[in-house]
Structure 1
Amino acid sequence: MKLYINSIIYTILMFLLSEGICIAQFYNNGSQVTVTNGTQLSIKSSDLINNDSSIYNAGTITVEGDCFISNKPNSRIITFGTDSLIVYKNFTDGSLYGQNSGVLTLKGSNQTIASTSSLLANLYIMGGGLKTISGSAIVRFKLDLQQGHISVTTPNIFGIDSTGSIVQSAPGTNSFVIGALYRKKMNGVDSLFYPIGNSISEYRPASLLGISNPTAGNPTFSIATNISTPAAGSGISTIYNRVWTVKSNKPSYPVNNIRLTYLPADVASTSLQNLIVGQSASLTGKYASIGNISAQAGSVLSEFKPSQDFYAIGSSNNVKGNFRVLLEGPFNGTDMDSKLFTNNALSDSLLPTIGMLPGYSIPANAVDRIAFVLKSAGTYIDTAYSWVLKDGSIKDFATGTKNYVTFSKAIPGNSYYIIADHRNHLPGSSDNIKLTNTSTNGVYNYDYANGVFGGGAKFDLASGKWLLYASDSYKSFKNQTDVMDVGSVGRDEIQFVTGNNHYRRTDVNLDGSIDAKDFQLSTDHNSKLYYSTLP
């Protein structure tokens, strides 16, 4: 049975009831049809066929069968505002117009979008099952992956317009996109983004497969152009606690590299965690690490080209180190002075706090920031930053709340050399020590002579405490105290750098002033020519 609307004259069919129900096939063959605001038109167990003319939908049209729009010049369904065209079976759009606003909701279990160049304002994926894109389609504003999967068949294009976005308003339903997803760039040229994102706005991923905690934060990819392929990051790693996995099927595109960034709005429960991204030939196999990323705004993974079938993002090995180190410059015989903190030199200067997470403060009694460099047999592995406190203990640099630093490119149980590297002291290295992925593996004390590598940079106070030598303020490649250090301090002193809240390398004793005390300490150390021996 069919309900025909077939007229050569201009007619308007107005649905004025709260709900209009059609139990036959709805067939429009030339009339303008308007569904008014607040009205629902339900086509029960049958199809909507718009063969000619227009259907203006300011309410809600629910089609339990197929929805077909012909390719005739005037054939179209226009849905306005936030109202919806809900289709339970296949949606075929042959129109030349597409949607300017409104929502197309695919709510069946298995459905197909078949079109030559469909332009959809908003597309909601619901009802589960597989939604197959068997023709090209562009979503102008929002793709909402609530429940169900989208499969893009080759060589069709399924994409997001330049100002569009991808959301998942019902997290945990394992909804994702299979295959390539395009994004139409601002200049109108189609470019493949897999998955999707750009520098204008941030986007969630197009694929959300295997997320153990979807609300913990979702990484997003974006394409960077004209960037050479970097070397792989840190060899082979097992990725724990995966938050994101995607099968790429080794796409021939993107021809450019992929860049990983992190969404600050989505990282509440993992905002202090380092994540690692890797690629593998199998879903459950070993993943080659291609970099790591901190869950904080602005954190970026170097670009890479896809060369394997599977990509995963999850917790890295997260090897942790708890250290204690004393610096000669601010040492007062008992502990270290924290005058840079009390004089506000740390907080007033931009440099010391670059990289801290928003909402956190410099910990009390902070002397300065310090780097710990991880090496294996002379090969650089990773660097972690911390605050060193007046008693020599540390707090993580990002938050100032944890008593350890995290190395995300190391392997638990392996032994490493760890170099304590301060901006105006000689660096000193541990001997090979074993680190674990917990913070309870003890403290490595640089302030005592246990397992020191090489020597030279550690100064014995005769009281049993050791310090890193001060006065390496010039920081050349030689890692030694020499005339270059004296000269740099002397130039600042002669220029009468006044005040007590300066953050400069020439402030050898870290009291915020560049004065005769700094010059004297540099002169003494220059005459002795102290140096560091590093792995």
Structure 2
Amino acid sequence: MNTQLIKTVLLAIMVAFPGVIHAQIKFTYDNAGNRTKRELNGSIVLVDTKVLLRGAYRTGQANMATDLQTYFSANSGLLPATDPYGGNVGYNNIGNPAGVAGPVVDWIKIEIRDAANPAVKLQSKSLLLKPNGSIVDIDGTLPKFVGQSAPVRLAIFHRNHVAILSNPIAAFNAGTTIYDFTTALNKASQLPGDAAQMGVINGKWYMWAGDVNNDLSVDATDMTIATNDFMSGLFDQYLPTDVSMDGGVDATDGSIMNAAFINGYYSTLTNYVP
């Protein structure tokens, strides 16, 4: 028996939503508390989706920067070991690009929402964003969600970017769902009259930066928070106002924030607040 595999946890997912098929997930952890294995039993959907963050995605670069993961050294960065979205998800090796999840840009969150009424949240999971835009679980594999019998949408949240919502996904009951937000503006759902939900660099579409207080829009409150941190000269910290995601609040962040505020970026999810 491999002595590293010292703890096994069996989690029965019993989600009380119409049409949800019950499933079981068995997790195995190593001595450091990192998940090393996951076994599934039941109807599970793997979500293979990509998003890019404006702050970490820069002109002329193929992938997003991972400055926050390796800010101090190859094994010491600013990313927290526990997710910032209240999901109580932990990844002890988040500062190590050689860890099981590999290079990481930041924590990110996916919500599964009802397609007909996106105000209804069916599932939520805190995950990791890779430099190429792929979203993975803390063991480096595609995130897994419980299958649904009705169409759904994906809602993507980041701590200082404007959230986006997918178009309806008709089949979400088994197999793998592939959804790449980076390929076209219309991959992000947008109601008539709403602002464009994404911007484009290098022919790829990204999430707008600047929603530092996570209220689905970039407004005067965000600007006040960002200005205060800029005037305080904050750096070497994991800050929502560090929208360029390089470890400090500086003129680059101010430029991004000003553009976001002037253009009045907001999420179409504002139409679906419960």
- Work out whether the TM-score is over 0.5: yes
CA shift digits 1:268-301 (9 cap, x unpaired): x995357xxxxxxxxxxxxxxxxxxxxxxxxxxx
2:230 counterpart of 1:493: yes
Q: Does 2:248 correspond to 1:513?
A: yes
Alpha-carbon distance, 1:394 to partner:
2.1
Q: 1:318 aligns with which of 44, 56, 63?
A: 44
The two structures have a TM-score, normalised by structure 2, of 0.73
8 Å CA contact 1:384, 1:406 repeated in 2: no
Are 2:28 and 2:37, in contact at CA under 8 Å, matched by a contact in 1? no
Tell me the residue number matched to 1:337: 65
CA contact (8 A) 1:385 1:405 kept: no
Deviation of 1:482 (Å): 1.1
SS at match of 1:342: coil
Structure 1 residue aligned with 2:16: 233
**Which secondary structure state, in structure 2, belongs to the residue aligned with residue 427 of structure 1?**
strand
Which residue number in structure 2 is paired with residue 139 of structure 1?
none
Deviation (angstroms), 1:465: 1.5
CA drift at 1:358: 6.5
Equivalent position amino acid for 2:143 in 1:
V
Q: Which amino acid counterpart does residue 110 of structure 2 have in structure 1?
A: F
Structure 2: runs of 5 or more not aligned: 1-6
- CA deviations 1:193-224 (Å, max 9, x no partner) are xxxxxxxxxxxxxxxxxxxxxx976679xxxx
Q: Residue 356 and residue 363 in structure 1: after superposition, are their counterparts in 2 closer, same or farther (change >3 A)?
A: same
Superposed, 1:348-427 pairs within 5 Å as 349-352=80-83, 354-356=88-90, 361=99, 363-376=101-114, 377-378=117-118, 379-396=120-137, 398-399=138-139, 401-402=140-141, 404-408=142-146, 410-411=147-148, 414-427=150-163
Give 1:337 deviation, angstroms: 1.0
Q: Which of these two proteins has the greater Rg computed from alpha carbons?
A: 1
Structure 1 gaps, min length 5? 1-214, 221-231, 244-261, 275-314
> How far apart are residue 239 of structure 1 and its match?
3.6
Distance 1:525 1:438, change over 3 A: same
Q: Of 201, 204, 214, which residue of structure 2 is paired with 1:465?
A: 204
Between the aligned partners of 1:362 and 1:521, the Cα distance in structure 2 is: 32
Pick aligned residue for 1:446 from 145, 169, 181: 181
Task: Report 1:243-254 matches (<5 A).
Answer: none
CA contact (8 A) 1:325 1:446 kept: yes
Q: Could you say if the C-alpha distance between residues 491 and 316 of structure 1 is closer, same or farther in structure 2, counting changes exceeding 3 Å?
A: farther
Which letter does structure 2 place at the counterpart of 1:355? V
Cα distance in 2 between the residues matched to 1:217 and 1:472: 37
TM-score (norm 1): 0.40
Aligned length: 237
The residue type equivalent to 2:64 in the other structure is M
Distance 1:462 1:327, change over 3 A: closer
- Cα RMSD, aligned residues only: 3.3
CA distance in 1, matches of 2:21, 2:205: 38
Distance in 1, matches of 2:90 and 2:209, equals 26
Contact 1:457-1:468 at 8 Å conserved across structures: no
User: Are residues 328 and 237 of structure 1, via their aligned partners in 2, closer, same or farther at CA, if it must alter by over 3 Å?
Assistant: closer
Q: Which has the higher strand share?
A: 1
Identity %: 21
